[in-house]
Amino acid sequence: MIGGDGAIPMRATRLPATASQGAMVIGNTHPAATVDYAGRTLRVTPYGTFVFGIGRDATGEVVLRIKQPATAWIEHRVAITPRDWPVENINGVPPATVDPPPAIAERIEREQARVVAARIRDDARTGFAQAFAWPVEGRISGRFGNQRVYNGTPKSPHSGMDIAAPTGTPVKAPADGVVTFADPGLYLTGGTLVLDHGHGISSNFLHLSRIDAKVGDVVKQGDVIAAVGATGRATGPHLHWGMNWFDVRIDPLLVLERK
């Protein structure tokens, strides 16, 4: 055989056997490996770490195809653990935010498209691999994935977790990242900030009363980036913290509880 491939040792790929719906999954393999999942080639760190998310409604198993320099393609399977998704009734929401008139619906669509664009970057930073910290201390007042019924009308499942805290409470970066979106006044989500933790993993913070960072700011875990509020479609002051792997929404609570 010609070439150096034979000299590069194979490295055991590490992945959990199971993962919950809404989980962020971190794996490890050869740093020079190609890792394919869900139509993407995942970015691999110089330490061989890669990450992906499992959607709320994913079932069965996920399959990753990994090729290390010294191996053929190998399939790795992670079984998905299903969860229960309770129904949550939320009443007293301003009707115009539940069934907005066409002009407002158009505005919402435009604003959401800007937020989505901020979440599809594939950045080399590695904040996603840190142990995440709570952005504010408080009671969980709304869980990820719950089926939400606003004023009696069923809407999309809750896309993040809500933490009850008074208006003005500082919001701290749960992990290192770069600010990729900051707007004090979106119609539905009010003061909105997106933090990119790398490899497609991002946090979004909604209903903020104040934003202390601007797009392009590189922040460290624990840095104050904003303040809790009740702007946009909110019934009271709280921090809505959503997380994504690209366009797949994941559960921040599972990220916090990772071992």
What residue ranges bind Zn ion (CB under 5 A)? 142, 162, 240
* 162/251 with CB nearer Zn ion: 162
Is 162 or 196 the residue whose CB approaches Zn ion more closely?
162
Nearer to Zn ion, 48 or 237 (CB): 237
Q: Do residues 251 and 58 make contact, with C-beta atoms less than 8 angstroms apart? A: no
For residue 243, the minimal CB distance to Zn ion (Å) is 12
For Zn ion, the nearest residue by Cβ is 240
Please say whether the beta carbons of 224 and 172 come within 8 A: yes
Instruction: Let me know: does 237 contact 230? Beta carbons within 8 Å.
Output: yes
Least Å distance, CB 63 to Zn ion, is 32
Q: Write down the least CB distance from residue 142 to Zn ion, Å.
A: 5
CA dihedral 139, 144, 149, 153 (to 10 degrees): 140
Between residues 119 and 240, which has the closer beta carbon with respect to Zn ion?
240
Give the nearest distance from C-beta 85 to Zn ion in angstroms.
Answer: 15
Shorter beta-carbon distance to Zn ion: residue 78 or 136: 136
CB of 242 to Zn ion, least distance (A): 7
Q: Cα-Cα-Cα-Cα dihedral of 207, 212, 170, 186, to 10°?
A: 0
Beta strand segments in 55-176, E: 61-67, 73-81, 87-90, 140-142, 147-150, 153-154, 160-164, 170-172
How far apart are the C-alpha atoms of 233 and 8, rounded to whole Å? 55
